Amino acid sequence: MAKSLGAWSPRALAALRIVAGLLFLAHGVVKLFGFPEGAQPGEVEIASLFGVGAIIELVTGALLILGLFTRPAAFIASGQMAVAYWMFHFPSSPYPAVNGGDAAILFCFIFLYISAAGPGAWSLDKR
């Protein structure tokens, strides 16, 4: 069973990369364009930490979806999520279930894994 499932590893990694990239890009779109309306935190000032984060989310999310410059994009995204957790979530509580930092932690480690593992299948890096 492990052998037959192992053959799917590159595609599973690519699916993880693409879905995580889409979700990350969506967070950037909310902060840069306020879309979809009502999503938090909504449109932010570009010349702020949230604005810089939004640009990083938009650019690295798009690169991850395409599988282009995957390792550096994932590493930068991972670092951004580590900074986001320690600067914005942890100060309110050390418990992720209380401080709302679950997604930041998960994104951080998913992107750290992708930066080490590479893009998997279906990437422009492989072309």
| Cα–Cα dist 19/22, whole Å | 5
Per the CB < 8 A criterion, the answer to whether 60 and 112 are in contact is: no
Looking at residue 127, what is its pLDDT? 84
Q: Is pLDDT above 90 for 1?
A: no
Answer whether 0.75 is exceeded by the pTM: yes
* pLDDT reading at 2 higher than 90: no
Q: What is the mean pLDDT of the chain?
A: 97
CA distance 57 to 4: 35
Other Cβ atoms less than 10 A from the Cβ of 111: the count is: 26
Dist CA 71 CA 96 (whole Å): 27
- The pLDDT value given to residue 4: 85
User: Cα(40)–Cα(101) distance, rounded to whole angstroms?
Assistant: 14
Interval 14-34: pLDDT, tens: 999 999 999 999 999 999 999
